[in-house]
Amino acid sequence: MYLILMRHGDAEPVSAGTDNFHRSLIPKGMRRVRRTARMLSHFLKGRTVQVYCSPFERTRQTAQIAAEEWAVNEIHTAGELTQPMWESVKNGILVSENGPVLLVSHQPFLQHWLYEVTEDVLAFQPGSAAVIRYDKISGKGMLSAYLSSDLRHLKKEDS
């Protein structure tokens, strides 16, 4: 199955008027998430995706943008996505899913989970996503792609 780990988009800074839980995406963050979700839609080729996010406002907004791009009607909120323990994510969310599954969360959790599953190391940029071919039986996987809105700047080199 495909497992997609996605970092929320750029969010407003913590301020006296907004606590960490209620920080919203800023317009740049929304654009980055939408571009990454569009790249992922080409990768997913119409497969139905189960979408999970942490309860924080910025992850819910990120999940909503992805869901809109993929015509997903339901988003699940999961407290497991606010902690570093991969076992609780695996046993609490992935045990009942057959994929593809999108998990929208935060740094450094995403980095930690990626390493737990694939032994790869990435610094997730805001609005970026790692696509993993995940085996539920072994609980391990292989990194297939890392997508970021910044990839739109890359050009194929002429040979």
List the CATH number of the domain containing 29.
Answer: 3.40.50.1240
Is 78 part of any domain? yes
- CA separation for the pair 117, 142 (Å, rounded): 8
Is 87 part of any domain? yes
Q: Which pLDDT value is given to residue 43?
A: 78
Is 16 part of any domain? no
Low-confidence ranges of the chain (pLDDT < 70): 16, 152-159
Q: Which pLDDT value is given to residue 17?
A: 78
Is 17 part of any domain? no
Q: Which pLDDT value is given to residue 26?
A: 96
Which residues are CB-contacts of 69 (< 8 A; sequence separation ≥ 6)?
34, 37, 38, 40, 41
- CA separation for the pair 145, 80 (Å, rounded): 24
Q: Which pLDDT value is given to residue 63?
A: 98
Is 56 part of any domain? yes
What type of residue sits at position 144?
S
* Count of structural domains, the chain: 1
Is 67 part of any domain? yes
- Let me know if 122 is exposed, middle or buried by CB neighbors in 10 A (0-12, 13-18, 19+): middle
State the pairing for strand pair 2-7/101-105: parallel
Is 57 part of any domain? yes
- Let me know if 43 is exposed, middle or buried by CB neighbors in 10 A (0-12, 13-18, 19+): middle
Domain range for 65 is 2-11+22-153
Q: Which pLDDT value is given to residue 158?
A: 40
Q: Which residues pair with 129 in a beta bridge?
A: 6, 147
Q: Which pLDDT value is given to residue 18?
A: 81
Is 73 part of any domain? yes
pTM for the whole structure: 0.92
Name the percent of the chain in helix, strand, coil, to the closest 5. Answer: 40, 25, 35
Residue 149, Cα to own-chain centre: how many angstroms? Answer: 13
Q: Which pLDDT value is given to residue 95?
A: 87
